[in-house]
Amino acid sequence: MNLNKIQGSLAYVFRNRELLERALTHSSYANERATADNERLEFLGDAVLELAVSALLLERYPEAREGQLSRLRSRLVNTEALARVARDLGLGKILRLGVGEEQTGGRDRTSVLADAAEAVLGAVFLDAGFARARKVAVAWMEAPLERLADGDGVDLRWKNSRSQLQECIQRDRHQTPTYRVIGREGPAHEPVFTVEVLAGSDVLGTGTGRNKREASHDAAAKALESLDVLR
């Protein structure tokens, strides 16, 4: 089994490659070959993912209430979402499946892929600990969280400075704020972006962050603070 591509996608090289092999071993294959399957790693990965995402949401949205955080987490961590992660990683192509599971389309079955993604995360946890596993989980959640924060069917006004600023500017100026990147510093693996938010040609605020999303939200928050001062 060639594991180099998946390790590249994870940005992590396993010290114990057998853990990754086990994470990619479906029970149907294990039953045919009398070897260990990925179900125990899936169980562990599920717990690691829930903790990592919970910590991420608490950090990103300090004003959110428990129920709001729970609903958002359920949108991020579910079978469909995890299967999408697995497809992005290319797990379906390298899963070890039994003959019957292979013949009935298991390589692209949503539940099989979601379980494999959790198992891979569990394997990372056993190989390198929670800090590394959390980093992998956060990387998986960045794009889905970005979509939700941009209004993908979820009202995030309670925690989204961009949404709050947009309401304010549309109400007071009948304009929609725009964002532009004006700087990027630091090494490639740890960049710092600088973004400014504008209403027309007026710069309302400037923010920084580890990615464009964080920087834009910081800029919106600074703009809201400035508008409060000006009132």
As annotated, the active-site residues are 46, 118
SS3 string of the chain?
CCCHHHHHHHCCCCCCHHHHHHHCECHHHHHHHCCCCCHHHHHHHHHHHHHHHHHHHHHHCCCCCHHHHHHHHHHHCCHHHHHHHHHHHCHHHHCECCHHHHHCCHHHCHHHHHHHHHHHHHHHHHHHCHHHHHHHHHHHHHHHHHHHHCCCCCCCCCCCHHHHHHHHHHHHHCCCCEEEEEEEECCCCCCEEEEEEEECCEEEEEEEECCHHHHHHHHHHHHHHHHHHHC
